[in-house]
């Protein structure tokens, strides 16, 4: 694992969590059990704090950071897509953050909300539970439907399973 102490700030992670060797988990980061922290991810809590719930996937090349003395909470079974930039206060359980999305300062994302790929959620915006948002700036474009929940429940489990497979199956061969 690629865990880095920063002064007195030391990261920790729960059982069954897999962290890529190319990820950087820095400072006051607490990661729950059964999480997937992908290649190139940066979880930077050198002067703020990050808390990640159980069964959450932070996919490749995502950056999570928070302002000084701030706390960024990412709930249970959240999916954060490849290349997202997360600088927000809270992402509630089961939310989905699309690839390349940007969540700015003081943003809150509700339970089961979906932020579409490439969307920008500006400073201080709160996205209600079970809403779909898209665009720059992000605006509500619909409600989360049963088919969204079915699709993403399956996807979330894929990443929990992947976190359990990596320790046994991932091997550098060249």
The model's pLDDT over 8-32, given as tens digits with 9 standing for 90+, comes to 999 999 999 999 999 999 999 999 9
Q: Which residues of 45-59 are buried (b: 16+ CB within 10 A; e: fewer)?
A: bebbbbbbbbbbbbb
Do β-strands 57-58 and 24-31 pair in parallel, antiparallel, or remain unpaired? unpaired
What are the pLDDT digits (tens) for 46-59?
Answer: 999 999 999 999 99
d(CA 100, CA 3): 24
Residue (of 55, 51, 49, 59) closest to 76 by Cα position: 55
Give the residue carrying structure tokens 């997937």: 36
Percentage of the chain lying above the pLDDT 90 cut: 99
Percentage of the chain lying above the pLDDT 70 cut: 99
Q: Which domain holds residue 140?
A: 3-169
Residue at 42 is within a domain: yes
Question: Residue 8 has what DSSP assignment?
Answer: T
Residues 6+ apart with CB under 8 A from 113: 92, 95, 96, 127, 128, 129, 130, 131, 132, 133, 144
72-to-36, 96, 141, 170 alpha-carbon distances in Å: 18, 16, 26, 30
d(CA 136, CA 169): 39
Q: Specify the pLDDT at position 2.
A: 84
Does the pTM surpass 0.85? The reply is yes
Number of neighbouring beta carbons within 10 Å of residue 114: 26
Residue at 130 is within a domain: yes
Tell me the average pLDDT across 63-71. Answer: 95
Q: How many domains does the chain have?
A: 1
Q: By the 8 A CB rule, do 31 and 13 touch?
A: yes
The tally of CA atoms less than 13 A away on the side-chain side of residue 70 is 17
Residue at 174 is within a domain: no
DSSP string across 79-134: EE-TT-EE--SEE-TT-EE-TT-EE-TT-EE-TT-EEPTT-EE-TT-EEPTTEEEE
What is the CATH number for 37?
Answer: 2.160.10.10
Residue at 65 is within a domain: yes
Residue at 66 is within a domain: yes
């Amino acid at each position: 694992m690629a865990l880095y102490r920063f002064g007195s700030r030391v990261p920790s992670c729960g059982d069954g969590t897999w962290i890529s060797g190319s990820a950087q988990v820095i400072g006051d980061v607490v990661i729950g059990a059964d999480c997937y922290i992908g290649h190139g991810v940066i979880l930077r809590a050198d002067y703020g704090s990050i808390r990640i719930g159980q069964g959450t996937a932070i996919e490749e090349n995502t950056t999570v950071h928070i302002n000084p003395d701030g706390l960024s909470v990412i709930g249970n079974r959240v999916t954060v897509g490849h290349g997202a930039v997360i600088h927000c206060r809270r992402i509630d359980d089961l939310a989905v953050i699309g690839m390349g999305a940007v969540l700015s300062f003081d943003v809150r994302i509700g339970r089961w909300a979906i932020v579409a790929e490439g969307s920008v959620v500006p400073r201080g915006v709160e996205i209600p539970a079970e809403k779909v948002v898209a665009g720059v700036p992000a605006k509500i474009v619909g409600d989360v439907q049963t088919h969204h929940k079915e699709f993403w429940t399956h996807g979330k489990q894929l990443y929990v399973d992947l976190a359990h497979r990596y320790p046994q199956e991932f091997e550098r061969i060249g």
